[in-house]
Every structure is written in C-alpha cells, then in structure tokens.
Chain A
C-alpha cells in the first residue's frame, strides 16, 4: 500500500464520517439553523466523494448548485418563516418514531445486504479520469440532447412557478370601484387606485 492509496483511504473515511454524522445531525438537531449549515457541510463532503471518484465536473456542479443555491434558498426560507411556535403535542408520536425507526433500519439492512452480497461486475473498463468533462459534454449534446432541453424547460417552469407561488398578492381597495350607487363621481375619488396607501 503506497502513500497515494493510504491518502485516498483516509480521505474516504473522513468524508464518509462527515456525511454520516452530519446527516444524523441534520435530522436530529432541534435548532433548524444549525441543521441548515450542517446540510451545507454534508453537501461539501459529498462533493469531496465525487472528487475521489474522478468526477471533478460533477463535484463543481454539486458545490455550485447545492451549496451555492439550494442551501442559501433553505436559509432564506428559514429566516422568512422564523417564528418560534410551541408545537402542540400529538398522541402516538413515540410509537410513530419507533415504528419508523424500525422501518428505516430494515431498509438499511436490506440495502446493506444487497450491496455486499451482490457480485458486481468488477473491475469494469478503466476510468477515463479527467476526460470525464469532455465526455459529459459529448453525452449532453448527442444522445442525451432531449433530456437536456427538457431540463432547461423544467428550470424555466420552476422559476416562473416559484415566482407566482411566492409573490405577495396585491389587493386593491374595491369599494371605490364597486361604488354602484354612484355616490361619488370618479373625479371625487381623490385616492388613486394604485398608490402606496391602497396597496397592502
């Protein structure tokens, strides 16, 4: 075992320890701001795993999209809905936690058994290493062209949908408009319909 092997092994162990403990802390911690920052740490560690797997482009995309966009978005959401509220207790919470822990543990055991006992077709063809970025570009513009374009349309739809959903509704005072008996003429209505006072 030369020094590159041991370095890679140590890097993998450290990154996987960060991922496992960080994900547990994200789920279990009470303070959600800590959870959000630890989620960023988990994303960074996953990007480190991608670097160990000779995928520098996907690691960069992971850091840019997850740490730079998704995590910041989650932090913004936490700050926008930051209200300390007393969660009212519900009955059967403890049994629900126990049952779901059993289900998740069973799923974990099943996945571990499948991943260990399966005879994977190893070793595969040699890894192309740093040419991966060029190969991803070739894939995106030849055989994965349709999913690529669909992904761009999906991003556009998500952007417009998020704007429409999160926009504050502008309400105009309608008693001026619905003034059916014409008690006041239009010129008497001093307040313009779209002013700072009429917008709530």
Chain B
C-alpha cells in the first residue's frame, strides 16, 4: 500500500485523524454545559471536515485541487459562524446571567 501512495503517509491516516477529531467534536457538542465550549466543539468538527477535504484534494484531485477551494469557503463560513455565535452568546448572557446550556430552555416545551 505504501508504494502506491505519494508519500510515506497513506491517505487513510489523514482520514483516521479527521474521524477522531470529528467524533470528539460531536461528543463535546452533546455533553458540554458551557456554551463557549459548545462553540469550540463546532470549530473542532469544522476542522475535521477541512482535513478530509484537504487530504482528498491532495491525494486524488492533485492537479485541480477543488478541495482546497472548498476548505477556504469552509474557513470563511466558520469565521462568520463564530462571530455570530459569540454575539448570540453575549446577548443571552446579558438576559439570563448564565451560560449553562441546561438553562436555555425558553423554547423547549
């Protein structure tokens, strides 16, 4: 398998790292009670997707590199999401004086 790939690191190694990062992000997203940590978990998941896009772009689509363009768009959307998410968090904190995710149940039954 090694002599078929470009370098010493096979494509599957990058995919495994990205899968682990994504699953860690999902676990943190479900289990965090601090709202800032939820946003950090979302950033972790977006980074895992970016690693997948970049590794496919380098190994399979090496001459056109559409994956790199896609990952730049993902980075852009992630920056916008972080700004709006933290603004929402600040306004929530100003109204409810807590950042516990369990206390944000205004829209829940």
Instruction: List the interface of chain A (C-beta within 8 A of B).
Output: 1, 5-6, 8-9, 12, 16, 19-20, 23-24, 26-27, 32, 35-36, 39, 42-43, 46, 49-50, 52-55, 57-58, 61-62, 65-66, 69-70, 73-74, 76-78, 80-81, 83, 85, 87-88, 90, 96-97, 100-101, 103-105, 107-108, 111-112, 115-116, 120-128, 132, 135-136, 139-140, 144, 147, 151, 154-155, 157-159, 161-163, 165-166, 168
CB pair A61–B82 under 8 Å, yes or no, is no
Q: How many residues does chain B have at the interface if contact means C-beta atoms less than 8 Å apart?
A: 78
**A122 engages B75 (CB within 8 Å):** no
Residue among B5, B21, B54, B97 making CB contact with A50, cutoff 8 Å: B54
B46-64 CB mask vs A (1 if < 8 Å, else 0) is 0100110011011111111
| Smallest beta-carbon distance A65→chain B, Å | 5
Q: Majority SS of interface residues in chain A?
A: helix
Report chain A residues within 8 Å CB of B8. 1, 5-6, 8-9
* Nearest-CB residue, chain A, relative to B20: A20
- In the bound complex, residues from chain B placing their C-beta under 8 Å from that of A24 are 24
Roughly how many angstroms separate A125 CA and B69 CA in the complex, as a whole number? 18
| 14 A–B contacts, CB within 8 A, in A order | A20-B21, A27-B37, A53-B55, A55-B54, A61-B75, A74-B36, A77-B86, A87-B100, A108-B23, A111-B15, A116-B12, A127-B58, A157-B80, A158-B83
Q: A26-B40, A43-B47 are in contact. Are A101 and B64 (CB under 8 A)?
A: no
Q: Would you call A115 and B86 a contact (CB within 8 A)? A: no
